[in-house]
Structure 1
């Protein structure tokens, strides 16, 4: 059986259901004392390097929105569904804008009202998460 994250681990967001998901900046090294992900979603404009765990690349340029919104919805739903049993990691270059936006969308899937999801992620993950007005708008419309 796989295991999930330590709730007090670096970058770990506990959703209202108890699901744990880690957000991370790909430009930074892994926390030295923590486990590796078992499933990751990489939010980048270019294809990332291969990793030794299962990963999905979602084309999402910096400061923008996902290139394919239907694919983004499906990939984020998969991450949310896997979070109870896998160490799911959501990661972009800096770990704030795209990662925060994706984490806020996971919060919406978890039952947080879309208008409250950005504040939820800023309180529980990073106070500067979700960097642009169009990223905030994307989260508000994610439930539609």
Structure 2
């Protein structure tokens, strides 16, 4: 995935999506960021440093890190669902929000699809939407698909 891309959610609201490894910071910077990584932003693990090319980084804006390993669903789905609900509320208030993972495809695409599910889109339709609106290879694994279906259970 390349640099930042603005995506309009199915029920409205815009979100900036990108891959951190591209190294391109959005201009203007977001007001809030959601980072989907299996390690702290300021302490990339060996996989992230060597294979993905991530460097230690701390955003200069408020942010949330969701513990979400590559090619997987989030480690704590309930916490991820709560964080994504809060993120959706920010987007709906008109805040400039970015969502990013290492490559900007699987986890970022799954999070975008999750926002669509939280807006009322069926999980299968959310995957179709994100693959059309964002990246044709978004939502990479069966486990990420299952997370979208489980998300409906975590709605309050």
Contact 2:32 2:97 in 1 (8 A): yes
CA distance in 1, matches of 2:102, 2:125: 25
SS of the residue corresponding to residue 24 of structure 1 reads: strand
The offset of 1:16, in angstroms, is: 2.2
CA distance in 1, matches of 2:69, 2:108: 12
| 1:142 equivalenced with 2:151 (yes/no) | yes
1:30 pairs with one of 24, 38, 45? 24
| 1:46 equivalenced with 2:54 (yes/no) | no
The offset of 1:31, in angstroms, is: 5.7
What TM-score results when the alignment is normalised by the length of structure 1?
0.87
Could you tell me which runs of 5 or more consecutive residues in structure 2 were left unpaired when the two chains were aligned: 42-56
Task: Please name the residue that 1:78 is paired with.
Answer: 86
Task: Please name the residue that 1:114 is paired with.
Answer: 123
User: Structure 1 runs of 4+ off > 6 angstroms?
Assistant: none
Greater fraction of residues in helix: 2
Contact 1:16 1:111 in 2 (8 A): no
SS of the residue corresponding to residue 102 of structure 1 reads: helix
| 1:65 equivalenced with 2:73 (yes/no) | yes
What TM-score results when the alignment is normalised by the length of structure 2?
0.81
Question: Cα RMSD between the aligned structures?
Answer: 1.6
CA deviation string 1:113-134 (max 9, x = no partner): 1221111100101111111111
